[in-house]
Amino acid sequence: MAGRGIVLLLSVLFAASVGVCHGAAAAPGPGYVTVSTASFVTAGSASTCNSPDPVAAPTRNGTSAVLRLTHRHGPCAPSRTSSLATPSVAAILRADQRRAEYILNRVSGTGATKQQQQQPGDSKSAAAATVPASWGYGIGTLNYVVTVSLGTPGVTQTLEMDTGSDLSWVQCAPCAAPSCYAQKDPLFDPAQSSTYAAVPCGGAACAGLGFYGDGSCTTQCGYVVRYGDSSNTTGVYSSDTLALTPQDKVSSFFFGCGRAQAGLFTGIDGLMGLGRQSVSLVQQTVAAYGGAFSYCLPTTPTAAGYLTLGRPSTSGAAVATTQLLSSPNAPFYYIVMMTGVSVGGKKLDVPRPVFAGGVVVDSGTVVTRLPPTAYAALRAAFRAAMAAYGYPTAPPTGILDTCYNFTGYGSVTLPTVALAFGGGASVTLGGDGILSFGCLAFATTGGEDGGVAILGNVQQRSFEVRFDASSVGFKPNSC
């Protein structure tokens, strides 16, 4: 019975959302949602893939380019990734805390090295290419991956998708342990690609690396990237053909050819940087895709999500859009203004200045971090609403201090949580965006009120999150 309870608690991470397509029951009243525990599925316990080939292609501006998107440990996972060990909840939350602390320090300027300012590209409308995103983990946290092809002939590479960094990289052959860690796909071998070129010193591309340059250029341009959890990669800045899909190719794509990696990388072949700086994939492809992209993070291991380069269609549900801000200390992050939080349909009494530092929309942070006063108000309101249903509480799990034991329950009723943003945008979360690991999936920033917050990927799941040069938008029930 104890083992069954643990599985059920962990399975809340993948709880079905409130939409019909995610299997939620009818809500008992305004401001609440009832979710069947039968829909709580973990990657390890799921046995049936609900997204068989071919995956339906989301249409964008009359074009579509889709790659299969799967949970790394679920039944839809490709064989090369399905054998990866699932990290423990404790390990996930420890790494998540390191990443969150790094982001908060960068934006606030505490211990941060300033990076080169963004050089925005052309934001004109263009065709769109849709690339798959998969549940995965890398750089120590539960993140998402896409599968692309690099070089000529193309070599399949599974890359972590990261909105919080710019430079894309893969591990390159020859490279033996411990300089390179084990990965499931073959190492990219630049000697076998007819379109590969190392970036020389002294050129514009090498100079454009800015903060990412290793400072020791002799003949070939070197790069270095250090992440918030102390992971790092170094190697040769290079260019080659990147195939997002067989129909959507990026010639002379600049990336890091990794020769030495260290830290918490696990199973992935590298990273796809989607930040705001000129070296990111978004800015490198601005002529083709207009500097816009969007993604939908899947809610369960049996579902599919996607990453789209280009402007998505505006059909279907309304999109809540808010203005994109900038930070002089961290111009690569996507920051918007949060203005309030509601629980059970009632807005919490939190002064607006508490949110003055803005919120980073980050694909790599797991749970959302709120300023202390906002988190305390959210926690108190959520606990009071849950107490009315008599659910037994459970001990804290790492940074998560509001946890429950749903063993034996056929369904659970949750108060809705809504986040308000600048410009009147409001996002109402489903059950999958409220609970994770059996706990309220929010935590405090640990800093002062008025400081920066972080919108984690748990709260983004099932929304199409849209980015362009001036705004961030949220479209519900998109995957």
Domains annotated for the chain, with CATH where assigned, are 2-42+318-475 (2.40.70.10), 79-106+117-309 (2.40.70.10)
Q: How many helices (H) and strands (E) does the chain have?
A: 7, 29
Is residue 162 flagged as an active site residue?
yes
What's the CA angle centered on 231, arms 230 and 233, to 5 degrees? Answer: 135
Token couple for 131: 């690339």
Catalytic residue (choose from 162, 166, 229, 240): 162
Catalytic residue (choose from 229, 362, 432, 468): 362
| Nearest in space to 50 (alpha carbons), one of 300, 250, 269, 259 | 300
Rg over CA atoms, the chain: 21
Predicted pLDDT at 23: 30
Q: Which residue has the higher pLDDT, 421 or 314?
A: 421
| Those residues with Cβ within 8 angstroms of residue 163's Cβ, 6 or more apart along the chain or in another chain | 274, 275, 333, 334, 361, 362, 363, 364, 467
296 and 55 Cβ atoms separated by less than 8 Å: no
Name the most confidently modeled range: 12-16, 137-141, 247-251, 341-345.
341-345
Whether 174 shows a pLDDT value over 80: the answer reads: yes
169 and 180 Cβ atoms separated by less than 8 Å: no
Fill in the DSSP letter of residue 215: S
The reported pTM is 0.84
Whether 303 shows a pLDDT value over 90: the answer reads: no
Distance CA 386, CA 406 (A): 12
Judged by average pLDDT, the poorest of 87-91, 113-117, 412-416 is 113-117
What's the CA angle centered on 129, arms 128 and 135, to 5 degrees? Answer: 130
In the chain, the N- to C-terminal Cα span, in Å, equals 33
The tens digit of pLDDT for each residue in 189-211 reads 999 999 999 999 988 999 899 88
What letters, b where the CB count within 10 A reaches 16 and e where it falls short, cover 419-432?
A: bbbbeebebbbbbb
Distance CA 301, CA 14 (A): 7
Q: Residue 141: which pLDDT band, with cuts at 50, 70 and 90?
A: low
What's the CA angle centered on 256, arms 253 and 257, to 5 degrees? Answer: 105
The tens digit of pLDDT for each residue in 324-356 reads 998 888 888 999 999 999 999 999 999 999 999
Predicted pLDDT at 95: 83
Predicted pLDDT at 7: 34
For a pLDDT cut of 90, what percent of the chain falls above it? 42
